[in-house]
Chain A
Amino acid sequence: MRLAVCLPQVPFERGGAEIVADDLVAQLRTRGHEAELVTVPFKWYPGERVLTQAFLWRLLDLEEANGRPIDAVIATKFPSYAVRHPRKVVWLLHQFRQAWDLDRTELGQFSESAEDRALRRRVLAFERTALGEARKIFATSGNVAGRLRESTGLEAELMPHPPAPLKYRCDRYDDFILSVNRLDRAKRIDLLLEAAAAEPTLRVVIAGDGPDRERLERLAQERGLNGRAEFTGRVSDARLTELYASCLGVYYAPVDEDFGMVPFEAFLSEKPVLTTTDAGGPLDVVRDRETGLVVRPQASELARACVWLRDHADEARAFGRAGRDVANGVTWDACIDRLLAAVA
């Protein structure tokens, strides 16, 4: 089949969605399909730009290219699902959350003016229209599916995406907790640092880079975590698998996250995941005392959970292995079969 995978692009930025889309294209190609990543730059501010930029997708004609038909499109996140195609399927990574759950929060973008309020409504209406056209919607997490249901009344099937195809392994259970994340506020790395401050025996390794790094490093210094909190920056795939292979457990607790590949990568390395009750998507797979530990988003509780894990190595191993079984069920073969069945 000839398939177009649609993804908006924020120039000079790269994150999980880009990795998923690239992987999807690569996996489709390895299975003999012609797949292409179609991307359009996206800017969601100021004011009505969120709609007019979305409108760009509406103008695209992806029914054929150079005289040859494109059999189906797979849209991923706002506003790429505005693209029109008789066989459109959406693997929903993100809606425009500023218009829904992030509205009237620090992360929102619409003011209380009548115009902004109406604009937000238009975004929601637009989402209903664009997503409603899809033959089927898959959501990467229960959180994403729930939000879709609440905001548009549309139903989605749960289909997490598989983690990056690295050679995950488990070497040992050292005494450090690993965080693998882009460093921005929503990922809540500071909670882990506060937990380390509360528990003097705790050691953490923070892999990744991002705009919040400077603040986090300053915080670590202020809390006297010298030597106990290591910022590695971006690491190579080999170093990443090594960190996974040797850590005690993996911390992953963004605020109401849609989804994350980190828990699956941890599970494939047979490591338990520490998360919080408000983390959203990760709670689909991180179940308390089954595949990891779920605590309230407080530093003291997180610190206690880390210590408990360190003191209960057998349980940690058991949780990690249970997680591995979950992760093994999430494969590209299964995902692609479901996607293609939807557009068949």
Chain B
Amino acid sequence: MRVSYFSPLPPSTSGIADYSALLLPALERLVEVELVRPGRTRPVADTDVALYHVGNDPDAHGWIVDALRRRPGVVVLHDFVIHHLVAGLTIGRHDGHAYLAAMEREAGVPGRLLGYGVLEGRVPPLWEVRPQEFPLAGEVLDRATSVIVHSRYVETLVREHGYAGPLHRIAHPAWPVPPVAPESVAGSPLVGSFGHINENKRVPQLLEAFAALRRTRHGARLLVVGSESPGFDLAGRIERTGLDATGVIREPYVEEERLWALMAACDAIVLLRAPTMGETSGAAIRALSLGKPLVVSDVGWFSELPDDVAIKIPVGGDEEVQALTAALRRLADPEAARAMGEAARALVARDHDVDRVAERYAAALEEAAGGAAVSGAVLQEVAAAAADVGVDEEPLAAELVRSSLVSRDGSVPVPGTGPRFLRTLPIWAWLGGLYAVAVAVQLALALRVTSPWIMVDEIVYSDMARSFAATGHFLIRGVHANYGFVYPLLLSPVYAAIGPMADVYRWSQAVNALVLCSAVLPAYLLARRVVRPSAALVAAALAVAVPSTAYAGTLMTENVFYPVFLWLALALVAALERPTRARQVLLLAVCALAFETRTQAVAVIAAVLSAPLVLAWIERGRPRRLAAFAPLYGIVAAAGVIVVAVEVARGRSPAAILGNYSVTSNGGYRPWPAIDWIVLHLAELDLAVFVLPFAALIVLAANARHLDRRLRVFIAASASLSVWLVLEVGVFASRYSQRIEERNLFYLMPLLIIALLAWIERGQPLPPRASVVAAGVAAALPGAIPFAHLFNITAQSDTIGLQPWWFLGNTWTGRQGVGVVAVLLALALAACFLWLPRRYAPVLPAVVAVGFLLTWLPLELWTHSFPRLASSAYAQGVGTAEKSWIDRAVGRDAHVGVIFAGGNQLAVFENEFWNRSVDRVYGLGARLPGDMPEIQTSVDPASGALRGVTEPYVLAPTTVQLVGTKIAADPAKQLVLYRVAQPARITTRVIGLYPTTPGVEAWSRAHVSWIHAQCTGGTLSVKVSSDARLFQGTTSTIAISGTTTSRTLSISPATVDRLITLKLIPAKGVCRVDFAISPTRVPAKVETGNTDTRHLGLHFTQPVYTP
């Protein structure tokens, strides 16, 4: 085991340097010590634990506290009062605010005010005049994973300051007595006083008492060794006390060897001090080693010396001098002095032996470095046995602690430590309450979404649910559907039970809210594997606060896949913890459910297969448990073989198992774009969870080997799921969607949140390399996102995490400035991750929650909010107030075919969704996007019959006029519903005009055709206009041909409503006129600021046929 050792070392004259010089040789026999060069604050790599010696001197220990701030570790608190040190670290570095913060932490607002007084010079420096009232040890204790003290006195103070972690009381080691001869100093007895000479060392009282002794023992002499504080005037005080010059021998600061020689010469040694800073006296230890009787002040560590080695003098008042005089008289008796000296030697041999002290240090360090892992492993094994009989591990934890099997270092949850309010209700009540609130909020938000708008997904699942309710088969427009069936299955009861689509839609959203919010349960159970109940509740709450849960307002599989994915993660963790056959089979069953919900889950299966390997790698060196996963691998391998065999037997590619996504197996992926998109997805995920959870997962993953087993398992599962999902989605996006598909990744967010909470609960470990890398990567990744490029229509539905940034770019920073703000925020969050004191830990999940709220706001209220997008989609597709206007006209059970001849796609989708009677779509010279089943039809030129259209009702645009009865219409969208006789036939069809609103002339393309079936002759009239701005200085030409006289017309830019009348001569019963318009213009290229990219010819009115 390797320990990085932070301490001042010789030639530093600090007492702690001497201490370390004494301790180190013995300690190095027990653990591998990496001595840290004084001044270096960077954590030492590859050490298991860091040991920090903290004393009150800022010059000697300031750098050590800096290092402690970078990596928590074991702190040896040599002084409890470290006000001087803290003043040096704050005021000494011109950071008055930090000093005020330290004072406020210590003594509240009065402390802060006092601090102001110090800063402004109105109050004398507290570290000089009353440091013991403000010890300022708080920050050091906060950062300590374990504390070592030398006395009960300091132990009590540390506990009183609220430190609850492991605490070791280890005696100060004794120096071996060097082979020096006692210096020849006269005196009978010779009384020595060693150390700084000032008021605190009670030198005036000593002089007074010694003077009294000299009156009866003329041979007595006082040896005063040490440097004199400025202004103390020792000589004057000696004179005033009435001592003659021969009574007191004065020595200044002396080197170590001479110190021993002088001490050895003394008959008794007096070491007084008051007040105490909680320190241990190196001089007292030396005196004890020499077997010298001691006289000490009855304070702090000195009080704890056994009575048979030291006479203790109460501090203050006349009593002090009297007691001191009596003590000196008593020690003038050689026999009494000898007895105390022997007891002192025995005490040193028993309690201060350096090897014994080093052994206790090794115990503290070993416990700090590996204790948590042992606790985790033990608890894991015992809890696993207990879990089999339905016992939670918490009651076990207390017993294990009591039996010393595990420690109280916080790595194992101990009952009764959660917030008190949490214990007022059983946990299921909290969870139930959370679920109810989540459902209520999600439903309220979902109901604000008034129409489907994510095309074609919402239509697909609606059609499947509708057909299953009606026929028991999953069909889309009458054709077998190759999509996951779980979500439509879930919606189908609503379609079966309820008629009107307006109600079906609302109830479907209610189902969404109920199902999606059920994620609280798996999220809680998953979190409980690694954190306490209170933190697990936070994880569950954040899981249903993830902004992507806004999909509850849409008919998307995300609503089911989210809880299913979390159940799957839980099943994976359970199987990794104890790979029983039942658990593995259950895991695979959940995998199958996930796959039938979203084909995307194929990556999850890969993650499930790799997770045991990841865990084995993390636990390398421990007993391998891979063989236990044989059922998992065996079943998956067998299933793979069966799938391949079945698909091949059916004459299909094995990839056909992927259904509509089988195209993704065709390859064509290129490495660099794939890597690029993987990085972008990681970056967006990082930003969407607001950096902290992302960094926490990296830190934990990098140090997984040193975690308790439960967390190791959780990390193995989370890392596998994350890596495979990000790989899958990134690679898919690089070829097929060219956008960040957060919609396919947000399932990972609860895992990241749980990682953050587990990291906090384990004391926010910051292993040197991993934490810097994690914070650096998490802070830098958002800089890779090309925000301006991604703010487009696809982000509305697929990249919800971009919403606040989009809003920011549009309203404040400009699109180009968003990246800078995002990186600055990420840097700030990374800094919090690294440096936020542990006591503020609850702030971290709160920051994530605030981030989610900031995402929700634009998502619900801004231009690109779900409610607005929904109403906009409806407005584009349907022009009537009555959504189900077709059903109302023909009844829900009728059969309506829709003709799509180009133009308004949303008109087809929205009407198809809102009208249950619409069950077929026919493409007439055009095809809808989205690859939904669609029958291509064509017109029989002679009869005008629409081939293949069999429905008795047909919805057609006004450009396609049918033979039949017009029974309803949506004039705003230029749609007419016909009742037709079979075969359905068209009368007139116009091709080549862009859709327009009623009363407004339509723009033409380069070619316009007018076709009329069963024509007996007559005339066709149409008015054309040009556009002076678009065709400035250019005259257009119209070449007319067909079953009329061919001719060419010139149309100047200023032309308005030029009437063209054409005589028609039928050919085989069909009249046809073709208009070729030249040139065409693209407005976006001609007019600055225009975004219209259509190729425009001339304005045409609706052609009018007169027989």
Contacts and interface: CB of A to CB of B under 8 A. Distances in A.
B116 to A, nearest CB: 45
Contacts of A112: 1, 32
B369 A129 contact: no
Contacts of B382: 52, 55
Contact of B399 (A58, A113, A117, A121): A58
B405 A55 contact: yes
A128 B405 CA distance: 11
Interface string A106-132: 000000111111111110111011100
A108 B49 CA distance: 23
Contacts of B373: 114-115, 118
B369 A118 contact: yes
25 contacts: A46-B622, A48-B374, A48-B378, A51-B374, A51-B405, A52-B381, A52-B382, A54-B405, A55-B378, A55-B400, A55-B403, A58-B399, A58-B403, A112-B1, A114-B706, A115-B370, A115-B374, A118-B366, A118-B373, A118-B374, A120-B366, A121-B363, A121-B367, A121-B371, A130-B403
Contacts of A117: 1, 31, 362, 366, 369-370
Interface of B: 1, 31-32, 48-49, 362-363, 366-367, 369-371, 373-374, 377-378, 381-382, 399-400, 402-407, 621-623, 706
A253 to B, nearest CB: 28
A52 B1 CA distance: 23
Interface in A1-49: 46-49
Contacts of B49: 114
A121 B370 CA distance: 10
Nearest to A111: B621
B622 A122 contact: no
A122 B407 CA distance: 9
A126 B404 contact: yes
Interface string A234-264: 0000000000000000000000000000000
Chain A contact residues, majority secondary structure: helix
Contacts of B621: 113
A285 interface: no
A217 B877 CA distance: 98
A119 B370 contact: yes
Interface in A42-92: 46-49, 51-52, 54-55, 58, 82
A21 to B, nearest CB: 24
Given A113-B1, A122-B405, A126-B403, A48 B370 contact: no
Interface of A: 46-49, 51-52, 54-55, 58, 82, 112-122, 124-126, 128-130
B692 to A, nearest CB: 27
Contacts of A115: 370, 373-374, 377, 706
B403 A82 contact: yes
Given A48-B374, A51-B378, A52-B382, A114 B369 contact: yes
A128 to B, nearest CB: 7
A10 to B, nearest CB: 19
Given A122-B405, A128-B404, A129-B403, 7 more contacts: A48-B374, A51-B405, A114-B706, A115-B373, A119-B374, A120-B366, A129-B404
A105 to B, nearest CB: 15
A126 B405 contact: yes
B622 A47 contact: yes
A122 B404 contact: yes
A320 B1075 CA distance: 134
Nearest to B373: A115
Contacts of A54: 405
A112 B48 CA distance: 11
Contacts, number: 81
Contacts of A48: 374, 377-378, 381
Query: Taking each of B31, B362, B381, B622, which has the highest tally of chain A beta carbons within 10 Å of its own beta carbon?
Result: B381
7 closest Cβ pairs, A-B complex: A118-B370, A114-B369, A114-B370, A117-B366, A125-B404, A114-B48, A115-B370
Nearest to A124: B363
Contacts of A121: 363, 366-367, 371
A126 B406 CA distance: 9
Contacts of A58: 399, 403
A54 B405 CA distance: 9
Nearest to B371: A118
A125 B623 CA distance: 25
B623 A46 contact: yes
Nearest to A127: B404
Contacts of B623: 46-47
Which of A47, A48, A58 is the most central at the interface, judged by chain B CB atoms within 10 Å of its CB?
Answer: A48
Nearest to A122: B374
Contacts of A122: 371, 374, 378, 404-407
Contacts of B404: 122, 125-126, 128-129
A110 to B, nearest CB: 10
A129 B781 CA distance: 51
Nearest to B407: A122
Contacts of B377: 47-48, 115
A268 B400 CA distance: 47
Nearest to A49: B381
A48 to B, nearest CB: 4
Contacts of B32: 112
A48 B363 CA distance: 17
A116 B363 CA distance: 12
A124 B623 CA distance: 24
A116 B370 contact: yes
Nearest to A126: B404
A167 B249 CA distance: 79
Contacts of A51: 374, 378, 405
A188 to B, nearest CB: 27
Contacts of B381: 48-49, 52
Contacts of B48: 114
Contacts of B406: 122
Contacts of B369: 114, 117-118
Contacts of A55: 378, 382, 400, 403, 405
A114 B404 CA distance: 18
Nearest to B406: A122
A180 B366 CA distance: 41
Contacts of A119: 370, 374
B543 to A, nearest CB: 32
A55 B403 CA distance: 9
A124 B405 CA distance: 10
**Counting chain B CB atoms within 10 Å of each CB, which of A46, A47, A49, A116 scores highest?**
A47
Nearest to B359: A150
A52 B382 CA distance: 7
Of A47, A113, A118, A120, most B-chain CB atoms within 10 Å: A118
Contacts of B362: 117
Interface centre among A54, A114, A120 (most CB of B within 10 A): A114
A121 to B, nearest CB: 5
Residue from the set B363, B404, B706 with the largest chain A CB neighbour count within 10 Å: B404
A157 to B, nearest CB: 22
A317 B946 CA distance: 128
A154 to B, nearest CB: 14
Contacts of B363: 121, 124
A263 B987 CA distance: 122
A184 to B, nearest CB: 25
Nearest to B366: A117
Contacts of A116: 370
Nearest to B404: A125
Nearest to A52: B381
B804 to A, nearest CB: 43
Contacts of A49: 381
A181 B367 CA distance: 39
B367 A118 contact: yes
A82 B405 CA distance: 11
A49 B623 CA distance: 11
Q: B362, B370, B400 — which one has the most chain A CB atoms within 10 A of its CB?
A: B370
A147 to B, nearest CB: 15
A124 B364 CA distance: 13
